[in-house]
Structure 1
Amino acid sequence: MKLAKPRFDIGLATNNLEGMLKFWQKDVGVPLDHVLKVRRGQNQHRHDLMGSVLKINHFEEVVPDTPPAGYQELLIASDKTLQHLSDPDGNAVRLVAAGSDGVTQIAVRMGVRDLEAHKRFYSEAFGFPERPYDKGLAFQAGEGLILLEQDSQAPSDAEFRGKGWRYITFQVFKVDDEHKRVLDAGGGEALAPVTLGTTARISMVRDPDGNWIELSQRASIVGSLD
């Protein structure tokens, strides 16, 4: 899979907009880029995370307290004081020295039930190269890393609705082609490709544990939704 942007994005859902914005903008130092009105009752506060997008999806309706997805922690390469943090909703974030565990930009650390199944998924469905990681497996996704660790308590059918880290996004050139590629490699389909006005054409797929992954063909990046 050829990424249209050499960085992946990560999204979460919350009802606590004020507290979340204060934490991410002031405590972590991630600047707001713009607010995207997704639909009535949902605004996406898009923050610039070294070229990746931190998507804080604020919902007016109550976000359910469903079990967490397999996305366990966001790692950010930083020259600030190295520390483990959690935002007001309890989402884990860690500031690490550049190069620690191979992280030079960002990484998402995941707990998975079957390392070998996820190894096949990320190598065959996405074609990401494997990188050394002594705690499990790592895959290079552009400048970012996907860190996979064995976890018998990881979800087997991760839910999309709920607080916390819920999905990652890969920007691609042709979402229909890449969506088919993931399905052909054994990935699950959560949402068939759909066009969102003139902004993007997106789809949703699922990994072997049911974690949600967005594929996005964004007009501002690739120039066309055809």
Structure 2
Amino acid sequence: MNLAKPAIDVGLFVDGDCSAVLNHWSQTVGTSFDEMLPTGGGVRQHRHVLGNSVIKINHSREALDPSPPSGYRELLIADAKVTTKTDVTDPLGNVVTLVPPGDVTQLRLRVATPDVTGLLRFYREVLELEPVSSTVLSCGDSQIEVVPGPRPTPSGLRGQGFRYITVQV
């Protein structure tokens, strides 16, 4: 597939005071703040750049309904400053791990599903992502790793934690 941008973006939601989350992503994880966009419905999106990807931190002025986590389980980020895996889970509990560059060259989103084969087929055949290994696909500089896990409880888009990815085609 011809991508308009060679990377995925990852979106998450937060409510209340978001300063700790924003500081964590810029200072601990090492993303660069780009801009803040009002997206409607009382939500402002704080865009943090990571290579060709954007971490979209959506701050809701309204309280978010408690909802179960999505299938997006972990974000691995290549960082030349680390020599071993380093847990930098954010204040919301989103699992973020810094790893030395190697298999992960920019970022890799780990997605859990009970149907690994079906999700891999979707990413390969519908989105036309390129296989890197039997469970990892590339979207330009980014990667998606599909791992076995329980079926997530259906929940809305606006819930705390990793909620969506975007691919620009």
TM-score range, shorter chain: over 0.9
- Name structure 2 gaps, 5 residues minimum: none
- 1:138-153 alignment to 2 at 5 Å? 138-151=136-149, 153=150
Q: In structure 2, what is the equivalent of residue 190 of structure 1?
A: none
Moved beyond 3 Å, runs of 4+? 156-159
Out of 74, 91, 94, which is 1:91 matched to? 94
C-alpha distance 156-118 of structure 1, shift in aligned 2 (>3 A): farther
Q: Answer yes or no: is 1:106 the counterpart of 2:107.
A: yes
- SS state of the match for residue 64, structure 1? coil
Mapping 1:12-161, distance limit 5 Å: 12-15=12-15, 16-81=17-82, 82-99=85-102, 102-132=103-133, 137-151=135-149, 153-155=150-152, 157-161=154-158
Is the 8 Å Cα contact of residues 113 and 156 (structure 1) preserved in structure 2?
A: no
* Whole-angstrom distance in 2 between the partners of 1:20 and 1:62: 16
Contact 2:28 2:88 in 1 (8 A): no
Whole-angstrom distance in 2 between the partners of 1:56 and 1:69: 16
Please, what TM-score do these two structures have when normalized by structure 1? 0.70
Following TM superposition, by how much is the alpha carbon of 1:80 offset from its aligned partner in structure 2, in angstroms? 2.2
The CA distance in 1 between the partners of 2:115 and 2:87, in whole Å, is 26
- Compute the displacement of 1:114 (Å): 0.6
Q: What secondary structure sits across from 2:167 in the alignment?
A: strand
Q: Is the 8 A contact 2:67 2:155 kept in 1?
A: no
| SS of the residue 1:86 aligns to | coil
Q: Deviations over 1:77-97 (max 9, x none)?
A: 101234012111101100011
What TM-score, normalized by structure 2, do the two folds share?
Answer: 0.93
Distance across 1 between alignment mates of 2:155 and 2:111: 12
Q: 2 CA distance for matches of 1:154 and 1:13?
A: 21
Structure of greater relative contact order (alpha carbons < 8 Å, 6+ residues apart): 2
Q: Distance in 1 between matches of 2:29 and 2:153?
A: 31
Identity %: 40
Query: Within 1, Cα distance between the matches of 2:153 and 2:69?
Result: 11
Structure number with greater Rg is 1
Q: Closer, same or farther in 2 for the Cα pair 1:146/1:30, shift >3 Å?
A: same
- For 1:93, the aligned partner's letter is V
What is the identity, as a one-letter code, of the residue corresponding to 1:98?
P
**Aligned equivalent of 2:159:** 162
Residues paired across the two proteins, number: 166
In the alignment, the residues of structure 2 paired with residue 70 and residue 154 of structure 1 have an alpha-carbon distance, to the nearest angstrom, of 8
| Distance (Å, rounded) in 2 between the aligned partners of 1:9 and 1:103 | 16
Residue in 2 that maps onto 1:171: 168
Give the aligned CA root-mean-square deviation in angstroms. 1.3
Richer in helix (by share): 1
Q: Aligned pair in 2 of structure 1 residues 40, 128: CA closer, same or farther (>3 Å)?
A: closer
CA distance in 1, matches of 2:55, 2:24: 13
1:5 has 2:9 as partner: no
1:48 Cα deviation from its structure 2 partner: 0.7
